[in-house]
Amino acid sequence: MRHAETVTFGGGGLERRAELRRNAEVLSKAFQQTNNVLLIWRGKPLLGPEGVAWVSGEHPLLALQSEAPVFLGQGADGEMLFAADVSGWEPEDADLSTLNQFVDPSEQVPPNAPEGAAFCELRGAMLRLSPLDAEITATTRAVFTWHASHQFCAKCGHASVMASGGWQRNCDPCKAHHFPRTDPVVIMLITRGNLVLLGRSPHWPERMYSLLAGFVEPGETLEAAVRREVFEESGVRVGEVEYLASQPWPFPASLMFGVHGKATSTDITIDPLEIEAARWVTREELAEVFAGRHADIDPARKGAIAHFLLENWLADTLD
């Protein structure tokens, strides 16, 4: 697709400067002088009305870091960018019942925050971010989620330590090195003529339908994963498969490969362990869905690659 990278999180131009990650002296000095630290709290970045709410390397909440900050790279003006996890902060008198739900509308305002800034759930805030801020927040969330779940060496079981500006974990006893992982996922725009295949998970909000998706297995091509996942979930057979666009999806850390597959069958037999429902929808019906006028279908969330692909199929702009 000519405009593939316009998808949310799809490319903000962050200069990651991987060659600086092992220079601990340079990073330490830069962090002490920076005014560009993104705080993240239990997976929620600190955002203001216009995007990332940067704080200085001397912000009081940084005393609550569980580990060292992560070096993100350089911004458009060459400034050094960092992120720090301050999940140890405990907000007073806050209702935290919606944390980690599919939709978390709550916002937490930390002490000494920039004006109008709060910790916000990224799914709900992603559409108001610039491409660069979207890439920065997605990277931050994914990397710190990986650190939180990889505190111990997968080889020997001993505690590991952060290294290389936050892009590595080392195990001193067995000398193993571990790196952030990204899980490849195929998300499939499956069509047959004027029809597109939609499905829904039982965990989604009522009426929400989206494209079928699934993880790529070891030893499997993207094309093979598409055909296997679609058949497993819906019983539909797929022939030709074409790559369209990708989206880093930091929930927790996937790379979504958006593809167009042409169905060779239409009969649907769902696997109830995988999805709750699947159905064919005409292009005319989908137009009603996007207009909010369909009787029983709401579209995939704006900002997700599923919405992006369906919108472009509807507009006939997949090329």
Q: What are the tens digits of pLDDT across the range 244-273?
A: 999 999 999 999 999 999 999 999 999 999
Beta bridge partners of 38: 83
Tell me, what's the pLDDT at 174?
Answer: 98
Tell me, what's the pLDDT at 266?
Answer: 98
Beta bridge partners of 241: 261
DSSP H helical ranges for the chain:
24-33, 122-125, 131-149, 222-234, 283-290, 305-315
User: What is the C-alpha end-to-end distance of the chain, expressed in Å?
Assistant: 5
DSSP H helical ranges for 127-200:
131-149
Residues of the chain with pLDDT under 50: none
**Residue whose tokens read 């239409």:** 266
Tell me, what's the pLDDT at 77?
Answer: 87
Q: pTM of the full predicted structure? A: 0.94
Tell me, what's the pLDDT at 98?
Answer: 84
- Those residues whose C-beta lies under 8 Å from the C-beta of residue 143, and which sit 6 or more positions away, are 70, 83, 166, 167, 180
The candidate with the shortest Cα–Cα distance to 194, out of 280, 85, 288, 71, is 280
Rounded to 5 degrees, φ, ψ at 188 are -115, 120
Tell me, what's the pLDDT at 52?
Answer: 98
**Residue whose tokens read 């952060």:** 162
Gap between the Cα atoms of 52 and 178, Å rounded: 29
Tell me, what's the pLDDT at 69?
Answer: 97
